[in-house]
Structure 1
Amino acid sequence: MNWLTNAAHTRWLEAEADSLLAFASGALTDEGFGYLDGEGRPVPAEGSHLWVTCRMIHSFALGALLGRPGSATMVDHGVRALAEHFHDKEHGGWYAQVGPDGPIDSTKAAYAHAFVILAASSAAAAGRPGGKELLAEALTVSLERFWRDEDGMVVESYDAGFTRLEDYRGVNANMHTVEAYLAAADVTGDDAWLERATRITKRVVDDFARNNDWRIPEHFDADWKPLPDYNMDHPADPFRPAGATIGHWFEWSRLTLHARAAWQLRGVSPEDWMLDGAQALFDLAVTEGWDVDGADGFVYTVDFTGKPLVTERMHWVVTEALGAAAALYRVTEDPNLPAWYQLWWEYAAVHLIDEEGGSWIHELDSDNEPSATVWNGKPDIYHAIQATLIPRLPLTPPIAPALAQGLLDKV
């Protein structure tokens, strides 16, 4: 049985999306959306993070586009929170973290600002008030502060006043910028964002990945020279882990296929590196990530010989494996992909989906028992809800615009 074409499985995906939205509704705070603990309660000490709030806006915008009552109100709350609590009215951009008394972390990072673009794109696609205006401002900030045309990449982070730029350059921030730019291209109708997304993707996939046996280096200095030993003394960092990150190989595989499909839709023949790179990244992620240490699950990171480095299992890696399998199947119809897709949903159901507490357990140890080495709690539902929708949608347009165009289950 091929679950990727099975109507009963589609109904299960829909029910899982509804369950995730119900869990996320507990994240509402005065300043936006809180970081949720394992029971779905905001952690007061965390305040509201920009990346969490934007991911929740995006997720509830998907809920609104799915016709789920109450979701639109959550989107509107998040958009207002960005304007009233996160927005830096003096210097522009949005604070990284806020609380009842104002900014907790006033830095300005490309990673979180990419999620402002994604949230705004989804809010605009859902027709929510302020979505288009937020998107226009977010794109202006990204272009003026983070994008570097000479590199074809974005820089990492600044202080609050955009006066001090961090010397570090990272692939993670660029990956989510690709996701954001792809969404913005469809919502705005401006293909310049698709071109920028493709430039980033080509450099990462056809240069960094290809020239490192497809193990993507994540960390670089200001001149884009790789830092292979970065964070080796703190390898399990949630945003900048040491070594190469298995889940990102799946994510880049899928994003490359989204960009490829976007160009095809516009009548442009895709370049060979796009499918070649997507396939190579997917294959290596399976080979070096899945069941490599005696237990089911994907290890978090490997070193640059492919040896497991951090063996904890992250829920988001499984969601990205599912999305990449579905995306690659749309292109290749490889008969092996449905089996992987089914196996990984089985793993998610047995080990990750928390039927009693709600949402997904975000981290497991190498014995598939709950762990908190990298992540505490269940901060948001972004990765999981996308895993319930990507198999039901075409590769282009992106998720929110596709839902707005009525393309759900019309692959």
Structure 2
Amino acid sequence: MAEHGRETTLLRGDWLRSRAHRDWLDVQGQRLLDFSKQAAVPQGFAALDGHGRLSEDAGADTILTARMTHCYAIAALRGLPGCAPLAAHGVHALLGPLRDADHGGWHESQQAAEQKGGRKQAYLHAFVGLAASSAVVAGIEQADLLLELATEVLATRFWDQDEGVFLESFALDWSDLEAYRGANANMHSVESCLALADVTGDPVWRRRALRVVERIIHTEAGKRGHAVAEHFDPAWQLLPDYHKDRPTDDLRPYGMTPGHFVEWSHLLLKLEAALLRESGEAPDWLLDDARQLFETGMRCGWGADGSPGMLYTVDWDLEPVVHNRPHWCQAEALVAAASLWQRTGQPVYQQWYRDIWNYVDRHMIDREHGSWKQELDADQQLSADIYPGKADLYHAWQATMAPRLPLAPSMATAVAAQAESF
């Protein structure tokens, strides 16, 4: 399948099989891990500034703590020194100060826990489930307890069997279900479900992932040429003006997010591979939808304003709204291109993979202060309109790992099976 308006040049060499390229990915991944080690605080992990420093009043953030735990657990599986203690620190924080001991589930942050405020978010709990599963595979002490608690909450509080999705958020006591249905939380729930199925051995998690994908992608995005709408009411009616006054919201921006189109793309391929691995059967449309998601996302998101890179958001006509280039959008495009290349063998995806890494190397990797620049504007200058500092390890680090792994099983399980090859 040729991308619209894109020509594929004659390619020499296969980067995914190249030892030099794989070594380069390894170096970049270890640089990211080393940079984020400074994020550990007594009650979990906190956000770093652009130089990798903590603020004087830095407090633990639960999403960051879960993501760091996931990453350092997998790094520990690879035998990288210093990573197992950080994964253990994350597990301890998630079982202790960040957990709601009164009602179950997890607080949004150390501050929310202390003030008994905030809400119980599906997005956050998906990452706790992911962290727990990775920590179990890595043999981190008490990770099995964290996994038991996380799966219970995800299955009994957030999963809605009738709707076939994970519900968005609740008050601390599990009252006050939010009158909103969101694609973003469900997208990360699919990632969590695939890992939970591998680690618990319970295929019900794959069935749940498939139901989410059927509704949000095959049905809803399928209506829109595989552009992924994200904001719905409880009856699954589109909310076209949602957050129109907050276009740079970091989790629920107005319009649509091309970076999510491509992120869904590789998740569909991983779901397909997981189902095939389990039973030898998977819906044919998973591959078709994955290809179309990538094509639509790259067409409206990559360089749509004349400057390279994947921009943040588009409107309902697929025209740019927020032109800034978040680092995670580039990372997810990389993983999607590598996954499609691995699944189909078509050169267009190898070309995309090279082009995106060339962009990241030139513009995003911060060789002066470390890590990746979290966000650039349309002129490729540093910006903090959406994401200040350098809080996130998860997206960039996974972009250095995923191209070296099979589509299934999920990352921690795959690394454990192939540890000697890294």
Indicate whether the TM-score tops 0.5.
Answer: yes
CA 1:240–1:92 in structure 2 vs 1: closer, same or farther (change >3 Å)? same
Give the structure 2 partner of residue 247 of structure 1.
259
Instruction: Spell out, residue by residue over 1:166-188, the C-alpha distance to the aligned partner (whole angstroms, 9 max, x if none).
Output: 11111100001000010000001
Change in Cα spacing, 1:409 to 1:201, as seen in structure 2 (3 Å) is: farther
Match of 1:303 among 289, 295, 315: 315
Pairwise CA distance, 1:347: 0.6
In structure 2, the partner of 1:353 is 365
Which residue matches 1:94? 106
1:343 and 2:394 matched: no
Aligned to 2:415: 403
Q: Kindly state the Cα deviation for residue 163 of structure 1 after the two structures are TM-superposed.
A: 1.3
1:63 alignment counterpart: 75
1:167 aligned partner: 179
Tell me how far 1:41 sits from its aligned partner.
Answer: 1.7
Shift of 1:102: 2.2
Aligned to 1:182: 194
Unmatched segments (≥5 aa) in structure 2: 1-12
1:267 deviation in Å? 2.7
Which of 395, 408, 421 is residue 383 of structure 1 equivalent to? 395
1:151 corresponds to 2:163: yes
3-state SS in 2 of match to 1:114: helix
Give 1:346 deviation, angstroms: 0.8
**Structure 2 counterparts to residues 94-113 of structure 1, below 5 A:** 94-99=106-111, 102-103=114-115, 105-113=117-125
In 1, distance between residues paired with 2:326 and 2:116? 27
Q: Secondary structure at the match of 1:329?
A: helix
Q: Could you tell me how far apart the structure 2 residues matched to 1:198 and 1:337 are? A: 25
1:101, distance to aligned residue in structure 2 (A)? 8.1
CA distance in 2, matches of 1:186, 1:114: 15
- Does the residue aligned with 1:308 lie in a helix, a strand or coil? coil
Measure, in 2, the Cα distance between the counterparts of 1:56 and 1:20: 11
Question: Which sits farther off after the overlay, 179-188 or 221-230?
Answer: 221-230
Residues 289-328 of structure 1: pairs in structure 2 closer than 5 A: 289-328=301-340
Partners of 1:146 and 1:263 in 2: how far apart? 23
Shift of 1:380: 2.0
Residue 364 of structure 1 is matched in structure 2 by 376
Do the aligned partners of residues 100 and 168 (structure 1) sit closer, same or farther apart at CA in structure 2, a change above 3 Å counting?
closer
What CA deviation, in whole Å up to 9, does each residue of 1:361-387 have, x standing for no partner? 110001010001111001120001100
Distance 2:162 2:403 in 1: 36
Is the 8 Å Cα contact of residues 165 and 211 (structure 2) preserved in structure 1?
yes
Instruction: List aligned pairs for 1:215-226, cutoff 5 A.
Output: 215-226=227-238
Q: Is the 8 A contact 2:225 2:296 kept in 1?
A: no
Tell me how far 1:164 sits from its aligned partner. Answer: 1.3
| Partner SS state of residue 239, structure 1 | coil
CA contact (8 A) 1:47 1:97 kept: yes
What's the CA shift for 1:294? 1.4
Q: CA deviation at 1:338?
A: 1.2
1:42 is displaced (CA, Å) by 2.4
Q: How far apart, in 1, do the equivalents of 2:305 and 2:126 lie?
A: 34
1:17 to 7, 23, 29: 29
Q: Which residue identity does 2:183 align to in structure 1?
A: V
Aligned to 1:196: 208
| Superposition deviation, residue 316 in structure 1 | 0.3
Matches of 1:100 and 1:266, distance apart in 2: 40
RMSD after superposition: 1.5
Q: Secondary structure at the match of 1:172?
A: helix
| Residue identity in the other structure for 1:151 | E
Q: 1:35 to 1:354 in 2, by over 3 A?
A: same
Q: Distance in 1 between matches of 2:202 and 2:112?
A: 37
Alignment of 1:135 with 2:147, yes or no, is yes
Q: Secondary structure at the match of 2:279?
A: coil
In the alignment, structure 1 residue 270 sits paired with structure 2 residue 282: yes
Which of 252, 257, 261 matches 2:273? 261
One of 72, 86, 90 as aligned partner of 1:78: 90
User: Runs in 1 of length 4+ with deviation above 3 angstroms?
Assistant: 43-46, 103-106, 407-410
How far is the alpha carbon of 1:409 from its aligned partner?
5.6
Residues 133 and 199, structure 2, Cα contact 8 Å, conserved in 1 = yes
1:117 is matched with 129
Residue type of the alignment partner of 2:310? F
Counterpart among 29, 38, 48 of residue 60 in structure 2: 48
User: Higher strand fraction: Structure 1 or Structure 2?
Assistant: 1
2:3 counterpart residue number: none
In the TM superposition, what is the alpha-carbon distance from 1:407 to its structure 2 partner?
6.3
Distance 1:314 1:242, change over 3 A: same
Q: In 1, are the aligned partners of 2:100 and 2:113 still within 8 Å (CA)?
A: no
Give the CA deviation at 1:105.
Answer: 4.2
Distance in 1 (CA, whole Å) between partners of 2:20 and 2:403 is: 13
2:4 aligns with none
Q: Which amino acid aligns with 1:348?
A: V
| Inter-partner Cα distance in structure 1 for 2:258 and 2:112 | 37
Count of residue pairs brought into register by the alignment: 410
Alpha-carbon offset, residue 331 of structure 1: 1.1
Contact kept, 8 Å, 1:4 with 1:391, in 2: the verdict is yes
